[in-house]
Homo-oligomer: A and B are copies of this chain.
Amino acid sequence: MRNPDELKTVVEEAIERFAFWPELNGQTASMRYALAEMGGKRVRPVICLATGEACGAPVEQVMPAALAIELVHNFSLVHDDLPSLDDDDERRGKPSVWAAYGEGTAVLAGDGLLAEAFRLAASYPSPHVARELAEMTLGMIGGQYLDTMVDGADLKAVHRLKTGCLFSASVAMALWASGVPESEQGAWRAFGDELGLLFQVVDDILDQDGFFVSEGADGARRLADEAAARAHERLGEVSVDTAVLDGIVSALATRAV
């Protein structure tokens, strides 16, 4: 099984090779900028591929699902950065898509990334991968709504939707793509749910906002450690080798960037 760095390299190669739908015409420039040139940690597709490998599926089989997740993640960043939402003109030290290509093109770029994600998810013989992606995307949009449009929205609900949904989907889509029957998905899905919480709490600690403010430094650290412990526990309940995923959990819990 590949380690996370190797999986990230495989994801980057797949992103480089990814052929956008030709009828998008020149719209693809801004989409490629968002997806490839702006970079990213690729943590969601790596989790997706690592889950697939743990379940015995070849990387090529899970890659469309992994790319779909990364495309949805990028869609959400492109739209969230818009002046009418978070109004960020920079991301990862580069101009955000609207700052580089204009606001209208950025709206369409996000739309295109979302539609490409569904094209990838619908490339599987069964519709489960696409269903999972649609439901998780809807949850994520609801989270962004609560976060940007509702004063005093419950932080836990916002995080569970805005961040958690895509982490849950990273695991769940890998299960469907690998052919794991629904009856064996329980512990895996509980694992996916913990990952989102873990990622977000650590994000808040690093950014000193969110849970860092509401729970204090120690409280937030405890929340992160508890989520990591539960994630390891859920992995202990599945009957395959989860060493790579355990490593990812530990790395997420202790990451400094």
B141 and A27 form a contact (CB under 8 A): yes
| Interface-central residue, A106, A127, A143, by most chain B CB under 10 Å | A127
Q: Report the interface size class on chain A.
A: 35 or more
Complex CA gap A106/B122 in Å reads 26
* Minimum CB–CB distance for A159 against chain B, Å: 13
B118 and A141 form a contact (CB under 8 A): no
Residues of B within 8 A of A131 (CB): 119, 122-123
**A200 at the B interface (CB under 8 A):** no
| In the complex, per-residue mask of A103-141: 1 if CB is within 8 Å of any chain B CB, else 0 | 111111011101110110111111100110111011101
**A146 at the B interface (CB under 8 A):** yes
Complex CA gap A141/B142 in Å reads 23
- Who on chain B is nearest to A102 by CB? B84
B134 and A122 form a contact (CB under 8 A): yes
B107 and A85 form a contact (CB under 8 A): yes
**A5 at the B interface (CB under 8 A):** no
**A150 at the B interface (CB under 8 A):** yes
Residues of B within 8 A of A145 (CB): 24-27, 105, 108
Complex CA gap A126/B127 in Å reads 6
B149 and A26 form a contact (CB under 8 A): yes
Contact of A127 among B107, B112, B124, B150 (CB under 8 A): B124
**A82 at the B interface (CB under 8 A):** yes
Pairs A-B, 3 closest by C-beta atoms: A84-B103, A119-B134, A27-B145
* A contacts, CB < 8 Å to B: 21, 23-27, 75, 79, 82, 84-85, 102-108, 110-112, 114-116, 118-119, 121-127, 130-131, 133-135, 137-139, 141-146, 148-150, 161, 165
